[in-house]
């Protein structure tokens, strides 16, 4: 009996060992599961922090872009205000004889607008001829300050007029009559392609069979978009310029 009992004890030892091992593994499972959940949670926290950083950077970028746009808009407003002040003070300076009768001094240039003199409309060539007889020529716009001065000086477009090109506009000294698409000022300076203050979609040479080879100025809303091409034979107002008297 002792032998048999001892034999049974030896046979059951592996079984007990296996049971104990399974028991230990069973106890270990919740621990492993907990550790895995902790690792997963830690990974999620890292991702959340990275997403928060990315969102903050995105917001900063948007704020910087908005700030840049606001600064550009403010700069344009200040330039327009300066042009307005220059226009106002020009009337006083003009009385000192810097410009001839009917001419207005803006910054360092005298301007004559045919509409202010109630003259009849003329085509581009006749408009230029009139400027010549007055001792000047059709205006040449070669910098943003002059563009803004003229934008402030010339009458604004009547918003009730549709389409806008029926408003008439004002002739300026720019033409591509010699070579289509090659815009040249009357002082023989070529206007750089893609540059200038053209209205969106202009110049388009859309018109009669003779084309649209002369440029005009029209005040809409954007002072950087006021030029358009028209048939040189159309009759419009015109803007002359000349140097002030010394």
Same domain for 84 and 123, yes or no, is no
Mean pLDDT of 205-231: 89
pLDDT tens track for 45-104: 887 888 888 888 888 888 888 777 777 766 666 766 666 565 555 555 544 688 988 999
Mean pLDDT of 175-189: 96
Q: How confident is the model at residue 30 (pLDDT cuts 50, 70, 90)?
A: low
What CATH number should be reported for the domain holding residue 223? 3.10.100.10
pLDDT of residue 9 exceeding 70: no
Same domain for 52 and 134, yes or no, is no
Same domain for 85 and 117, yes or no, is no
pLDDT of residue 171 exceeding 90: yes
Same domain for 146 and 174, yes or no, is yes
Same domain for 167 and 71, yes or no, is no
Query: Looking at residue 1, what is its pLDDT?
Result: 46
Of 95, 129, 148, the residue at which a domain comes to its end is: 95
Same domain for 54 and 133, yes or no, is no
Secondary structure string (H, E, C) spanning the chain: CHHHHHHHHHHHHHHHHHHHHHHHHHHHHHHHHHHHHHHHHHHHHHHHHHHHHHHHHHHHHHHHHHHHHHHHHHHHHHHHHHHHHHHHHHHHHHCCCCCCCCCEEECCEEEEEHHHHCCCCECHHHHHHHHHHCCCEECCCCCHHHHHHHHHHCCCCCCCCCCHHHHCCEEEEEECCCCCCCCEECCCCECCCCCCCECCCCCCCCCCCCCCCEEEECCCCCCCCCEEEECCCCCEEEEEEECCCC
pTM comes to: 0.63
Same domain for 87 and 175, yes or no, is no
Q: Which domain holds residue 41?
A: 15-95
Mean pLDDT of 4-29: 58
| Higher per-residue confidence, 167 vs 8 | 167
Least confident of 21-30, 63-72, 109-118, 172-181: 21-30
How many domains are contained in the chain?
2
């Amino acid at each position: 009996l002792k032998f048999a009992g001892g034999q049974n004890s030896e046979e059951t030892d592996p079984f007990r060992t296996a049971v104990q091992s399974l028991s230990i593994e069973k106890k270990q499972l919740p621990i492993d599961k907990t550790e895995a959940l902790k690792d997963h949670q830690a990974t999620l926290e890292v991702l959340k922090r990275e997403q928060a950083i990315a969102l903050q950077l995105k917001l900063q970028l948007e704020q910087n872009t908005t700030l840049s746009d606001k600064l550009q808009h403010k700069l344009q407003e200040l330039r327009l205000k300066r042009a307005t002040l220059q226009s106002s003070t020009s009337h006083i300076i003009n009385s000192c004889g810097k410009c001839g009768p009917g001419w207005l001094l803006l910054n360092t240039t005298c301007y004559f607008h045919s509409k202010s003199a109630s003259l009849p409309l003329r085509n581009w060539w006749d408009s230029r001829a009139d400027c010549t007889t007055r001792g000047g020529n059709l205006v040449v716009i070669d910098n943003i300050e002059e563009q803004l001065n003229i934008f402030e000086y010339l009458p604004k477009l009547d918003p009730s007029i549709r389409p806008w090109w029926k408003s008439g506009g004002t002739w300026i000294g720019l033409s591509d009559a010699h070579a289509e698409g090659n815009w040249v000022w009357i002082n023989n300076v070529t206007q750089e392609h893609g540059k200038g203050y053209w209205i969106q979609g202009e110049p388009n040479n859309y018109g009669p069979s003779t084309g649209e080879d002369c440029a005009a100025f029209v005040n809409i809303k954007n002072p950087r978009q006021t030029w358009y091409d028209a048939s040189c034979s159309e009759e419009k107002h015109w803007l002359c310029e000349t140097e002030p008297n010394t």
